[in-house]
């Protein structure tokens, strides 16, 4: 894949995401429960007030799909929904070791997921190139990937 732009921080990640989905009407986030859920809610927060329908599917469990709604506390999972959308966002937790998903399973899942408008836009959002390192880019037809890197620094005066 060719690099289109670079940015820093969460703001840069949200800006890139908003740009990619500006023509989307309905966005389905797919990720591992717990780990990916807050990332879906964060990305959805960047789209609050946009009128876009947003939902989260844990792993490939379509029966447990939930809407993502705006609440006074931020974006949260809402009621059960039948997932149908023109944009699919695969979150990097799916590719983490011991999560249980393989690129082949996710490819089959994507091929069988209903789409309201025909072709689905497939976006990956991950950290530290996990989709590329795990061979997912060879199997999944990503249209775009937002790949972020994390640097942690623990500071303390107590030690």
pLDDT band at 133 (very low <50, low <70, confident <90, very high): very high
Q: Which domains does the chain have, with CATH numbers?
A: 30-87+99-127+136-148 (3.40.50.2300)
Residue 98 has pLDDT above 80, yes or no: yes
Contact present, 56 and 83 (Cβ < 8 Å): no
Contact present, 93 and 30 (Cβ < 8 Å): no
pLDDT, average across residues 96-124: 84
Q: Give pTM, 2 decimals.
A: 0.92
pLDDT, average across residues 17-42: 95
């Amino acid at each position: 894949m060719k690099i289109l732009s670079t940015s820093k921080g969460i703001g840069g990640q949200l800006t890139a995401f908003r740009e990619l989905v500006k023509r989307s009407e309905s966005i389905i986030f797919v990720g591992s429960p717990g780990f990916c859920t807050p990332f879906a809610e964060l990305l959805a927060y960047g789209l609050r007030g946009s009128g876009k329908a947003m939902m989260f599917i844990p792993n490939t469990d379509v029966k447990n799909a939930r809407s993502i709604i705006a609440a006074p506390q931020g974006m949260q999972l809402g009621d059960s929904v039948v997932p149908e959308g023109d944009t699919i966002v695969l979150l990097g937790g799916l590719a983490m070791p011991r999560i249980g998903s393989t690129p082949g399973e996710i490819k089959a899942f994507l091929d069988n997921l209903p789409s309201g408008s025909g072709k689905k836009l497939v976006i990956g959002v991950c950290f530290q190139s996990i989709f590329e390192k795990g061979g997912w880019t060879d199997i999944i037809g990503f249209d775009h990937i937002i790949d972020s890197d994390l640097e942690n620094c623990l500071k303390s005066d107590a030690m």
